[in-house]
Structure 1
Amino acid sequence: MKVHTDLNNFSAKNPVVTIGTFDGVHLGHKKVIKRLQELAKAVNGETVIFTFYPHPRLVLDTHQAELRLINTLEEKKILLEATGIDHLVIYPFTKEFSKLSYTDFVEKILVGKIGMRSLVVGYDHKFGHKRKGTYEDLKMYADKLNFNIEQLEVLNVDAIDISSTKIRQALSQGDIETTNKYLGHRYFIKGIVVGGKKIGHEIGFPTANIDPQESYKLVPKDGVYAVKVEVDEVMYTGMLNIGFRPTVNHQMDNRSIEVNIFDFDENIYYKNISIYFYKRIRDEQMFKGIDALKEQLEKDKETVLDLFK
């Protein structure tokens, strides 16, 4: 996969294009990508995903300052590369760009710079200034500029239309099973291991504190989770706590992501690791003291080990 952050030297053979934010790269997105690849193969062409950074809602809507996204940009790159696409265009989204009409966007960028031969859009796709570019508008415009256009129906799983919004809602509720079902892969967090207070070491459950790096990354609901942890391309089992550690952090001033990696005793400070979520085990809670906390952690570990059996 070639990644492009500008289009001055863009080159692709018979480009077949789709456009979107692709937050989560979920099953609905994968349906679009599969069709993109089918069309590209039919014309001996190459697939192109055109996405934006930052997310348009973070730029245009001041009320979305607290918007959280399923993936950071780096995570999105990893997921899109795994689909086997040929080109990923990451176009800078600015207020100035948002004022571009959909006709200018198609004519000057998609056709003029990319050389688009075919366009695949999702069931509700709209773009251009004030999202005025609908499928019907684009279809009429396609004849004028000599490209093909195709719209796909929404993907339905268990009578639910798949969307990034529904996945964000599931994550916010700690519903990892639904999240993973709609994504078609394990929800994960990539982050840097940073220093903590080392209380876990003192009670026999050392933890790695994870900094996701991007403030907009959606972190699931507080609680304890069964996870797999990838360190230096090796996968380990572990349990992860998200929250304020009320038993040992009485000021409740710092929400943290801490993972206890089973059968692991290496210094991984400042390493980049990946956490894959399997199931939420329980709520975060306050215990009467360290001994009670340790006793519960022993039970949590057994629960996680039983899950992965």
Structure 2
Amino acid sequence: MIIKRNLFDKDEDYHTVVTIGTFDGVHVGHRKIIDKLVTNGKANKLRSTILTFFPHPRMVLQQATDLKLLNTLDEKIAILEKSGLDQLIIHPFTKEFSRMSAEQFVKEVLVEHINAKKVIIGYDHRFGRNRTATIDDLVNFGEKYDFEVEQITAEEVDEVSVSSTKIRKALKEGDIETANAFLGYSYMLSGVVARGRGIGRDLGFATANIHIEEQYKLIPKEGVYVVRTFYRGKLVYGMMNIGFNPTVQGRERTIEVHLFDFNENLYGEAIRVELLERLRDEQKFDSIEKLKLQLEKDKKVSLAHIDRLHAD
């Protein structure tokens, strides 16, 4: 997959079939659209292309600092690389860019820089300055500038919208099973391992404290989860706590992962953890000893879940 960080970087002549969107989560609804895009590209010898924007337009136009997304940009790229897509264009979104007229966007972006011969887009898509242009305008521009427009049906658009809403709701409620079903993969958290307080090690459950730089990343409900990660090509399972560690007077929310049968030093390393199942809420125990006993139970339940995965 070719990745371009600016749509105005044009290095060769080719024709594309393109769709436009944020594709946050790249969930099962999105992938139906992407499959349609990829299939169309192969059938018509066009480069299948997604045009997306970063930062998210709402972050720029509405300064929506509370906006939470399902993927970091790197996570989205990693998922899309497995989709069969030919090209991903991630264009920097600015207020200046948002002021382009609809025809200017079509002429300069879709035609001159992306070389679109076909655009696959939602029936309710709006574009151009103040989002005043509709798909009917896009069809008219297509006739003028020689590209075809294929509409994504209301049913397909609704499926994407409903899926995104259900995923966010499920994650906030700790329903990782539902979230993963709609995503079509295990929800992930990516970050760099930072030094913690060392309490887990003292309990016999050494943890990797994951620092997530992207403030916009949606963190699931606090609690204990069964997880897995890949370290140097090896699959490693473990359990993770998201929360405030109330038993030991924690003051900040942390994301701490204990990996089973693992003793490598991870400090400073990037790690991506996939959430498989939620075990329980975070609890405050009367003593450190009771906390340790619960961690032993959590490990036993986690290993049983992992065994079931292998059996399936």
TM range (shorter): over 0.9
Instruction: Name the SS of the counterpart of 1:117 in structure 2.
Output: strand
Amino acid paired to 1:4? K
Give the equivalent residue in structure 1 for 2:29.
Answer: 28
Q: Structure 2 matches for 1:142-221, cutoff 5 A?
A: 142-153=142-153, 154-155=155-156, 162-221=162-221
Amino acid paired to 1:169? K
Q: Which among 290, 295, 298 is matched to residue 296 of structure 2? A: 298
Amino acid paired to 2:194? V
Are 1:49 and 2:50 an aligned pair? yes
* Shift in Å, 1:34: 0.7
Q: Structure 2 matches for 1:281-292, cutoff 5 A?
A: 281-292=279-290
On the 8 A contact 2:30/2:160 being kept in 1, the answer is no
TM-score in terms of structure 1 length: 0.94
167-176 or 14-23, which moves further after superposition? 167-176
Are 1:2 and 2:2 an aligned pair? yes
For residues 226-283 of structure 1, give each alpha carbon's deviation from its aligned partner in whole angstroms, at most 9, with x where no partner exists: 11122222111111000100001x2x42110000101111111111111011111111
- Summarize the Cα distance change of 1:129–1:21 in structure 2 as closer, same or farther, 3 Å threshold: same
Point out where structure 1 has 5 or more consecutive residues left out of the alignment: none
* Shift in Å, 1:103: 2.0
Runs of 4+ in 1 over 6 A off after TM superposition: none
Give the equivalent residue in structure 2 for 1:234.
Answer: 234
* Shift in Å, 1:215: 1.2
For residues 151-206 of structure 1, give each alpha carbon's deviation from its aligned partner in whole angstroms, at most 9, with x where no partner exists: 2234499x996442332222111111111111111111121111000100001111
On the 8 A contact 2:3/2:88 being kept in 1, the answer is yes
Point out where structure 2 has 5 or more consecutive residues left out of the alignment: 308-312
Amino acid paired to 1:51? T
- Summarize the Cα distance change of 1:84–1:131 in structure 2 as closer, same or farther, 3 Å threshold: same
Amino acid paired to 2:91? Y
Give the equivalent residue in structure 2 for 1:96.
Answer: 96
On the 8 A contact 1:48/1:89 being kept in 2, the answer is yes
Amino acid paired to 1:288? D
TM-score in terms of structure 2 length: 0.93
Give the equivalent residue in structure 2 for 1:308.
Answer: 306
* Shift in Å, 1:145: 1.2
On the 8 A contact 1:14/1:43 being kept in 2, the answer is no
* Shift in Å, 1:132: 2.2
**Residues in 1 aligned to 2:108 and 2:160: alpha-carbon distance in whole angstroms:** 37
Amino acid paired to 2:215? S
* Shift in Å, 1:18: 0.7
On the 8 A contact 2:122/2:157 being kept in 1, the answer is no
136-145 or 185-194, which moves further after superposition? 136-145
Give the equivalent residue in structure 2 for 1:257.
Answer: 255
Amino acid paired to 2:280? R
CA RMSD of aligned residues (A): 1.8
277-286 or 6-15, which moves further after superposition? 6-15
* Shift in Å, 1:123: 4.6
